[in-house]
Amino acid sequence: MPAAPLPPQAAKPAAKPAAKPAGPPPAGAGKSAAPQPAAVKPGAGGYHQQAAHNKPAPTKPAPTNSTPSATPGKPDQNLGVPGQAGVGTVAAGSQALPETLQTLPSGKRVAHGSDAGNFYCEHMFYATQREAAKPATSVVKNPQGESLTGFLHLPGDREATADASEGYRRGDSSKDARAVVGSALRGWIDTALPKAGSGPVRMLLTGYANWGSVVDNPTGAFVSSKHNLDAAMAKAFGPTALLSKSGTAIDQASGPKMNYTTWSYKIKIGGVVRDIQLRGQVFPVADAAINSGPQSVQAAMAQFAPHGVLSMGVAVGREDFLAEHHADDGGLDKSGKKHQDGAAPRRDMPDNYALARGILDGQRGNS
């Protein structure tokens, strides 16, 4: 069914070519059209506002069961905003994916994103996929051949941009995030278990630190909270399969260059006890997060050797959680290691629906 127009969406300090359909482009679709310049003006908190994300349109029509949104993007202040959303039922591979991947405790939903934005959110998704594509990668693939790398956009909550004196406490938004992350973890861990041998299954969860008008980033808060990770694992495996109700810290670093904790959990699946290791790591909203240096996600992947990487960012002004599937190098310089405002995309990663599939599979696994 056609998707209803979405709430206006955010922009970051980079001009983005025109929006893509939510579904994978037909064979032969590409970026033949030249990027359209957008009218840009300074925005609050160091962000820029632009009328729309201008992304070259595919050279062929979208699949009939994929409906791009006609709603233009709206200026927003966040850390790497999704572009214009084309949210709807999508045909990914041979299996159609529903437009709503999960309905959360607050009534909000997890939907498909169409573009992670030309800022550090998309940079992170692009970097992790490129790293996972290397021959010696530890990241495993799902049955569709997609690497277990994904990017989840969380909607902004009151705490994200509120002054500390207002006294907000993160409540329903954390419950929602635990539910969706729990589903994704269950789906991905089930996929990784047979490929990990008898050793632990390792999942890297990344979030971002505060930046600009986002004074309390819910993604950095989530991945650095043991309570949230314990709750996500409880959602993933339930009281029977999860033997460790509370994770045990097995590795930790806290400082300006590295900020992470690795937690170990025991689960029992098919009569066999397995070790699950979750590493929650907070990255700066800066080139250091994606430039292959000592603070980067590439360094974290090399050190931790994860079987899956779930990255998160906040999209202030959005109501839905968005499971992104597309990443390119828009907003990066030619080296791919530095943000460059207005840089048009030159390289696309293949659309990757591993996160969407993991969320769906995880709900079935714990039903």
In percent, how much of the chain has pLDDT > 70?
A: 69
CB-CB contact of 159 with 168 (8 Å): yes
Give the end-to-end CA distance of the chain in Å, rounded to a whole number. Answer: 26
- C-alpha dihedral sign at 137, 140, 141, 147: negative
CA-angle at 279, arms to 278 and 280, nearest 5°:
115
Q: Residue 124 — left, alpha, or beta (φ > 0 → left; ψ -120 to 50 → alpha)?
A: alpha
CA distance 167 to 248: 31
CB of 60 within 8 A of CB of 29?
yes
Q: How far apart are CA 282 and CA 256, in angstroms?
A: 10
What are the average pLDDT values for consecutive 10-residue runs of the chain, which has 367 residues? Answer: 36 41 36 32 25 30 28 32 42 74 94 93 98 97 98 78 44 82 98 95 96 84 95 96 97 89 96 97 96 96 98 90 97 96 95 98 86
The residues facing 308 across adjacent strands are 203
CB-CB contact of 151 with 124 (8 Å): yes
CA 182 to chain centre: 14
**Token digits of residue 335:** 């080296």
Residue pair 155/173 in contact (Cβ under 8 Å)? The answer is yes
| pLDDT at residue number 172 | 52
This prediction has a pTM of 0.76
**How many angstroms separate the CA atoms of 75 and 40, rounded?**
10
Q: What is the token pair recorded at 102? A: 């999960």
At 19 the pLDDT is 39
Distance CA 17, CA 348 (A): 13
φ, ψ of residue 256 in degrees (nearest 5): -65, -25
Residue 95: the pLDDT is 64
Query: Which residues does residue 180 pair with via DSSP β-bridges, in sequence order?
Result: none
Tokens in use for 152?
Answer: 């989840």
**Predicted local confidence at residue 93, as pLDDT:** 52
Helix ranges (DSSP H) in the chain: 120-132, 158-161, 172-192, 218-223, 226-241, 297-304, 354-365
> How confident is the model over 125-143, as pLDDT tens digits?
999 999 999 999 999 999 9
**8-state DSSP, 251:** E
Q: What is the dihedral of CA 23, 28, 29, 30, to 10 degrees?
A: 130
